[in-house]
Structure 1
Amino acid sequence: MKEPLITVGILSGKEIEFSFPETFVSSDKIESAGDQKAVYKEGKIYWEGNLYDEISFSPQLSNSAFFELKNVTIGINFHWERKEPQRFKGTLKLIIEEKKLTAINIIPIEDYLTSVISSEMSATASLELLKAHAVISRSWLLNKIEERENEKLRMKNEKLKVRNDKVFQMKTDSAAHSSYPIPHSSFIKWYDHEAHTHFDVCADDHCQRYQGITRTSTSEVTEAVFSTRGEVLMFENHICDARFSKCCGGVLEEFQNCWENVKHPYLVGKRDDTTANELPDLTIKSEADQWIRTSPTAFCNTQDRKILNQVLNNYDQETTDFYRWKVTYTQQELSQLIHNRSGIDFGKIIDLIPIERGTSGRIVKLKIVGTLRTLIIGKELEIRRTLSSSHLYSSAFIIDKEGEEEIPSLFILTGAGWGHGVGLCQIGAAVMGEQGYTYNEILSHYYPGSTIKKKY
């Protein structure tokens, strides 16, 4: 296997502004430098007086040349969402998607990984953490490409037989948050990578953070990528779907509780600890209540600023409470929030009732009881989006109510962790790296039963 070139979707819009500090050559052999603008016009890409179905730009001479994209949104739908200019090596490709332009970066996967590691965390993290992250980021992406190729083969063999409509509708792009269908009593939905059809991976948290050469890299990042070149996690001859999140909250979640109902043996529920191995049954209300209200030992239970600075970039450091956190809503705030986020008027909110919890205590199904309507929603990301103007840190929370017995005046959500909690816990892994664990040991802890194999 040769090192693959991958395609990364960066941003979309009716117009895209970009610049070439050095000379780039378009796919129709036009040399360009300086500020550029492409516009969606008449169903095509309008650039420099010409219309295109698609167009690409590659550096003319230097492998170190870069292009800059203006107004790239990072942290889409998160509390720290913002726009910034970003710089990228490799080739820029513009295509048409849904009556808009989409900018795609074509780049070798190892160069991509150097950026991902510096974007997902600080480039000053410990070498063993960086090496572990290089392996899982490479594994996750190659797993997605492998799955897509297998799906193409299945589709060809089945003469393009369309997948079951119900499953297809449940796998939707994280950028779209549609209103719930009123006639049903439950709405269970998950968000995954399958929504991308014109490129391998997007550049935001929906896939993996990728910000080109915008984030400062270090010699440690370069060494981490180089020393693990081509290495992936394997389980039974398949590349692992190596998920990761910021902070598991002390217990790892299982894959099927967040996404498709498929159980991966290497993505299991377990303590983020090697000294306290017993795992309480957090699917039980009383156990989840006790776990979330306390602060049990775990690798990710740390306030060490040196370690946190390794994992959290400047915008992530705006989040200070993540192992345990609390959010309070008045009746008016909560009812209006749920109405705005779901598109449904529940009236006044009477109760929020966890129906099903996963191994980490994360709620998989939540019943919203209102004076006008009752609905069960899930899975974890849908719950997090519905109960926040951006995202709750996680769906591992318990609910306290205050005020009148029938119509509470106050809802207090006490929660654990930051993100879905499946696979590697970035803050926990950072602590392990500081404590002297090797990257092999870190990966073995978070993906039990997996092995490392060099693919190229």
Structure 2
Amino acid sequence: MNSEISDTRTNETEKFTQPNIQVGIMAGTEISIELQGKYTVDGIQPPANLEASIVDHWIVLRSGQHVFAEGEEFLFLTPAPDCSFLLKGVTIGIDFHWEQKQDLQFRGSLKLMVEDGKVRAINIVPLEEYLRSVISSEMSATSSPELLKAHAVISRSWLLAQLAKSKKLKKEQPVYQTTQQSEGELIRWYDREDHALFDVCADDHCQRYQGITKIISDKANAAIDATFGEVLMSRHEICDTRFSKCCGGISENFENVWEPVLHSYLTHVADAEQDTAAGIDLRQENQADAWIRSSPPAFCNTTDQQVLAQVLPDFDQATSDFYRWQVSYTQKELSALIRKKTGIDFGQIISLEPMERGYSGRLIRLKITGTLKTMIIGKELEIRRALSESHLYSSAFVVDQLDEQEGIPQQFVLTGAGWGHGVGLCQIGAAMMGEKGYSYEQILKHYFRGAELKKRYAE
């Protein structure tokens, strides 16, 4: 492997400054807030404890029985960087198996807005301060310094790329679409374009952000300071640097997961020192079947708990079969699950048939044939949502249909590879690279081929 990423960290920082980021934390009919430090709203210092609720399409702020203020929008400002606010009952891991509520604390300003009949809480915070929390939330304090620095660069790059994309989409006509539907086929992808009132959300849908509730480690701070303002760029644009838990041995092309746009730096990469997939085309069903049922060597093919603990939070570490996994459903379970998750009654499920795969073996289009209906669905997250109460680990799977009775299988066994969409950096693979002594530049070069490391702004 080439030991150096193309590095053009030049003095190109005069035109750019660190932006403030608006992070959507939560929305609810009622939100409990604790202000810790000096905050003002329209120049007035509010009570420390407030309840925000919707009454007749207005936000009402109460402290006990006293109404402090009413309005469509409120901005809580603080001049002190160490002031913070606590939001109670924030849902994290939305729609995932670890979904739970936590009280979370944030530095910076707080904006309250009306959104679909609920109070929306938004944290306004400098980008680098946001990243300190993201790196501490996504990674463990035990992570290698090189892994943390690599993740700092891709988290920063991804966010700045999304800000640029949002500006572009607002100018485009017609309106950007994430669904392609025709008779017998539904193709949908899920990105972050639905966030109209803020830049990013605080959950795994964007990047896991838990403010200062998650202890911000000295290592995370050092990683941010060492890479301050650094991004990956390609063709004069900041790279849309995606990442997932475990690629399963080969990463996936961007266009096979999200919109049909080619990114030269987001293509399939064998996650190993040597190309273990040379000569293999996982778009071909027979080759994908053999690959998924095997356990080829890869950086992310590890059971090293020390490495896994760097990437997986406590509630994820119970998952041990992410590189290769298996899920089994009875006919009754599967038909009920698909009906519940898609809203379509297929009747009894006759078959799950791969129609198109990507370079990592992930399904892009899956044909579901039932006794009442047949439909093709995609892309990968739509497939994962249809076949699991939360999210199937990945769409890189093969199906065994067993115990057929009068043409109807009574059991379906899904054998799969990887955890997540598989595009860009593989977190477990990158953690292993860090343990093996690779630098963060080498880690970035491995996953984002042809990208250039540049300094976007200075401190």
TM-score band, normalised by shorter chain: over 0.9
The alpha-carbon deviation at position 420 of structure 1 amounts to 0.1
The alpha-carbon deviation at position 308 of structure 1 amounts to 0.5
Distance 2:335 2:421 in 1: 25
Q: Which residue of 2 aligns with 1:261?
A: 260
Distance 1:35 1:383 in 2: 44
Taking the TM superposition and a 5 Å limit, the aligned residue runs for 1:235-314 are 235-279=234-278, 280-314=280-314
Distance 2:364 2:333 in 1: 23
Q: Which residue of 2 aligns with 1:233?
A: 232
The alpha-carbon deviation at position 35 of structure 1 amounts to 2.2
Q: Which residue of 2 aligns with 1:411?
A: 412
Shift of the 225–203 alpha-carbon distance from structure 1 to 2, 3 Å rule, reads same
The alpha-carbon deviation at position 272 of structure 1 amounts to 0.3
Shift of the 145–373 alpha-carbon distance from structure 1 to 2, 3 Å rule, reads same
Distance 1:73 1:427 in 2: 25
Are 2:72 and 1:53 equivalent residues in the alignment? yes
Q: Which residue of 2 aligns with 1:73?
A: 91
Distance 1:4 1:270 in 2: 32
Q: Which residue of 2 aligns with 1:14?
A: 29
Taking the TM superposition and a 5 Å limit, the aligned residue runs for 1:321-400 are 321-400=321-400
Match of 1:24 among 27, 36, 39: 39
Taking the TM superposition and a 5 Å limit, the aligned residue runs for 1:167-178 are 168=177, 170=179
Q: Which residue of 2 aligns with 1:133?
A: 151
The alpha-carbon deviation at position 277 of structure 1 amounts to 4.5
The alpha-carbon deviation at position 29 of structure 1 amounts to 2.1
Distance 1:215 1:272 in 2: 30
Are 2:133 and 1:118 equivalent residues in the alignment? no
Distance 1:135 1:169 in 2: 27
Q: Secondary structure of the equivalent of 1:339? A: helix
Distance 1:283 1:244 in 2: 21
- Quick check: 1:186–1:375 contact (8 Å CA) kept in 2? yes
The alpha-carbon deviation at position 33 of structure 1 amounts to 4.3
Q: Secondary structure of the equivalent of 1:123? A: coil
Taking the TM superposition and a 5 Å limit, the aligned residue runs for 1:27-38 are 28-38=42-52
Shift of the 404–277 alpha-carbon distance from structure 1 to 2, 3 Å rule, reads closer
The alpha-carbon deviation at position 169 of structure 1 amounts to 5.3
Distance 2:34 2:91 in 1: 17
- Quick check: 1:22–1:33 contact (8 Å CA) kept in 2? no
Q: Which residue of 2 aligns with 1:98?
A: 116
Distance 1:303 1:16 in 2: 41
Q: Which residue of 2 aligns with 1:174?
A: none
Q: Secondary structure of the equivalent of 2:77? A: strand
Distance 1:22 1:3 in 2: 24
Shift of the 169–126 alpha-carbon distance from structure 1 to 2, 3 Å rule, reads closer
RCO comparison, higher one (Cα < 8 Å, 6+): 2
Name the aligned partner's letter for residue 274 of structure 2: T
Name the aligned partner's letter for residue 294 of structure 2: T
The alpha-carbon deviation at position 278 of structure 1 amounts to 3.6
Distance 1:150 1:14 in 2: 32
- The range that moved more, 274-283 or 241-250, is 274-283
- Quick check: 2:178–2:259 contact (8 Å CA) kept in 1? no
Are 2:174 and 1:162 equivalent residues in the alignment? yes
Q: Which residue of 2 aligns with 1:189?
A: 188
Q: Per-residue CA shift, 1:70-96, capped at 9, x if unaligned?
A: 010111000111110001000011011
Distance 2:60 2:104 in 1: 22
Distance 1:18 1:354 in 2: 49
The TM-score normalised by the length of structure 2 is 0.93
Distance 1:388 1:121 in 2: 26
Distance 1:227 1:169 in 2: 37
- The range that moved more, 403-412 or 352-361, is 403-412
Distance 1:409 1:239 in 2: 50
Name the aligned partner's letter for residue 54 of structure 1: E
Name the aligned partner's letter for residue 85 of structure 2: F
Name the aligned partner's letter for residue 59 of structure 2: I
Distance 1:276 1:162 in 2: 42
Distance 2:178 2:453 in 1: 35
Distance 2:178 2:245 in 1: 28
- Quick check: 1:23–1:33 contact (8 Å CA) kept in 2? no
> Which consecutive residues of structure 2, in runs of 5 or more, have no partner in the other structure?
1-15
The alpha-carbon deviation at position 318 of structure 1 amounts to 2.6
- The range that moved more, 371-380 or 212-221, is 212-221
Q: Secondary structure of the equivalent of 2:18? A: coil
Distance 2:276 2:442 in 1: 16
Q: Which residue of 1 aligns with 2:167?
A: 149
Q: Per-residue CA shift, 1:383-440, capped at 9, x if unaligned?
A: 0000000000000000001102511111000000000000000000000000000000
Name the aligned partner's letter for residue 336 of structure 2: Q
Q: Percent identity?
A: 54
Question: Structure 1 stretches (4+) deviating beyond 4 angstroms?
Answer: none
- Quick check: 1:266–1:448 contact (8 Å CA) kept in 2? yes
Q: Secondary structure of the equivalent of 2:183? A: coil
Name the aligned partner's letter for residue 257 of structure 1: N
Are 2:58 and 1:44 equivalent residues in the alignment? yes
Q: Secondary structure of the equivalent of 1:24? A: coil
Q: Which residue of 2 aligns with 1:206?
A: 205
Q: Which residue of 2 aligns with 1:439?
A: 440
- Quick check: 1:117–1:123 contact (8 Å CA) kept in 2? no
Distance 1:400 1:411 in 2: 6
- Quick check: 1:24–1:33 contact (8 Å CA) kept in 2? no
Q: Which residue of 2 aligns with 1:176?
A: none
Name the aligned partner's letter for residue 315 of structure 1: F
Taking the TM superposition and a 5 Å limit, the aligned residue runs for 1:418-433 are 418-433=419-434
Q: Secondary structure of the equivalent of 2:398? A: strand
Q: Secondary structure of the equivalent of 1:411? A: strand
Distance 2:57 2:275 in 1: 60
The TM-score normalised by the length of structure 1 is 0.93
Q: Secondary structure of the equivalent of 1:137? A: helix
- The range that moved more, 365-374 or 15-24, is 15-24
Name the aligned partner's letter for residue 162 of structure 1: P
Distance 1:169 1:258 in 2: 11
- Quick check: 1:14–1:100 contact (8 Å CA) kept in 2? yes
Distance 2:204 2:232 in 1: 21
Q: Per-residue CA shift, 1:293-318, capped at 9, x if unaligned?
A: 01000000000000001111111113
Q: Which residue of 2 aligns with 1:3?
A: 18
